[in-house]
Structure 1
Amino acid sequence: MHYKKGFTLVELVIVIALMGIMVAVATPRFANGDIFETRGDAGLISSTLRYAQKTAIAQRRQVFVITDTVAQPNSIKLCFVSDPNCPVAQAVIDPETDGPYVMTLSRNVRINPSNNSLGFDGLGQAVPNGAANYVVTNQKNNAQTFTVNIEADTGYIR
């Protein structure tokens, strides 16, 4: 008798089923979305700061970046006055919603600003003139931290 070399259909199906089970169990450990939330929110904070700076330059007046950790936790508002409540009449308009500009972070992400009401003047410089930073941390995994820095004098955001 002459035997052909190869695998039977049953053997192939069992191997594919076992591989599927292993992938289903291992994927959540490797594809954790926490790092993406943290990095994404750091990028949103950086974009919000740049929008505040560009609005201050375009309007030729001060724009304040107000970090709210009490009334609306984990949110950043843009306002023309440094009032933490930011009256609607003084709020910077969000071009997407035509309402007050409010950026809310992801559920597990927290920010720790060095200045809760940082501002930019009509030249784009930080008000008060000094370096500032926003530390973005994921509550699930404190090792995932990103820092957004604002340089003194120039207001450069990096």
Structure 2
Amino acid sequence: MARRSNYLVVLAAAAALSGNAFASEIAPDAVEFADDGVMTSLTGVAGDPAAGAEVFKNRRLGNCLACHANADMADQLFHGNVGPEMDGVASRWEEPMLRAILVNSKKIFTDETVMPGFYSLEVGKNVRESSVGKTILTAQQVEDVLAYLGTLKE
């Protein structure tokens, strides 16, 4: 019986810790933009570059390759040329500015940019009804893509 109660205590502790991790997530409408970008992590959890690379190339998530060429992903098909190349992006932009661009590029560039705000509720006109009030990426996915972009230095 003691083993079972120890197991339940461990499960309860794990649940409490995971709840705390989510509690530190910044809501899309609470993200603070400064002149230098978004200074604070959206989750308080370090991004995973490998997971970020998967989001970057996933056509159902980030779909970043639809607009951006990326030599690091030369094995992937159909790189776009609408946005700037990603080669060396971490040498051109500091992390807070890259985070801001990912969260809501329209606040950094102009309302006319075709790049979506990946962690914004301001997603444009004629949004599919099932997508209203939702972000394209989760806060952790943004941090993961940011970590991946941080690996792309000249």
TM over 0.5: no
Q: Which structure is richer in relative contact order (CA contacts within 8 A, separation 6 or more)?
A: 2
TM-score normalised by length of structure 2: 0.32
Choose between structure 1 and 2: higher helix proportion.
Answer: 2
Larger Rg: 1
Choose between structure 1 and 2: higher strand proportion.
Answer: 1
